[in-house]
Amino acid sequence: MLASRALVRGLQSGFWRRVSTSSAAWAAHTHDVDVIDCSVPQYNNRLDTPLPDVPFVRNLSAEQKKLKEKEKGSWTQLTKEEKLALYRLTHELSYAEMRQGSKEWMTVLGGIFIFLGFTGLLVWWQRVYVYGDVPHTLSEESVAQQTQRMIDMRVNPVHGFSHKWDYEKKQWK
């Protein structure tokens, strides 16, 4: 039990986002995205939810606060940059940015092929160094004797093996 707890701690500091409602939750307000406070509404980028529960930027600098004040007036007074800034304060990603894909699939496919190739090398080494000799019945001479015996026995004479042998001419049809 203690070992698993240590494992969780290790993973938390390394990879996982910490989920906490305790004192570490205040860090969420300062945009430290390692900690998510699940007890309050979260910002999210979703195509089916155009207006998320909270704005993306919660703690506004003085300059941003001034811009918000200007927003209360006529929007025709705002410059294009200001309008864009206001949009980015509330939203992290635009719809176009949400929809764009990434090139991650190339990395994944490449990784798959690398590992398949490596496995192939291992299998080849195994074939050469681990497997013993093959039975003598697979030698050419043995196979020829076996084939002759099958012809003599008339194996599958209607549609199969012996059907393909011409017994008059003593050769394959």
Partner 1 sequence: MFSHVLLKVSSDRLWSFSSTASVAARSYSHGKQETDEEFDARWVTYFNKPDIDAWELRKGMNTLIGYDLVPEPKILEAALRACRRLNDLASAIRILEAVKDKSGPHKEIYPYVLQELRPTLSELGIPTPEELGIDKA
Q: Which stretch binds partner 1 (CB under 8 A): 47-55, 105-113, 117-125, 128-136?
A: 47-55
CB of 124 to partner 1, least distance (A): 45
- Helix, strand or coil for residue 36? strand
CB of 99 to partner 1, least distance (A): 7
103 binds partner 1 (CB under 8 A): no
Q: Which stretch binds partner 1 (CB under 8 A): 42-50, 103-111, 114-122, 126-134?
A: 42-50
45 binds partner 1 (CB under 8 A): no
| String marking each residue 49-88 x if it binds partner 1 according to CB under 8 A | xxxxx-x---------------xx-xxxxx-x--xx-xx-
Contact 39, 22 (CB under 8 A): no
Residues forming beta bridges with residue 18, ordered by sequence position: 35
92 binds partner 1 (CB under 8 A): no
- Compute the distance between CA of residue 116 and CA of residue 113 in angstroms, rounded to an integer: 5
102 binds partner 1 (CB under 8 A): no
Contact 119, 104 (CB under 8 A): no
The number of C-alpha atoms within 13 Å of 21 and in the hemisphere containing its C-beta is 4
Residue closer to partner 1 by CB (options 4, 74) is 74
Residues forming beta bridges with residue 166, ordered by sequence position: 171
Nearest to 22 by CA among 39, 42, 9: 39
Instruction: Enumerate the H helices of the chain as residue ranges.
Output: 2-14, 26-29, 62-71, 80-90, 95-99, 104-129, 140-152
Residue closer to partner 1 by CB (options 96, 130) is 96
171 binds partner 1 (CB under 8 A): no
User: Which residues are at the interface with partner 1 (CB under 8 A)?
Assistant: 47-53, 55, 71-72, 74-78, 80, 83-84, 86-87, 89-91, 94-97, 99-100
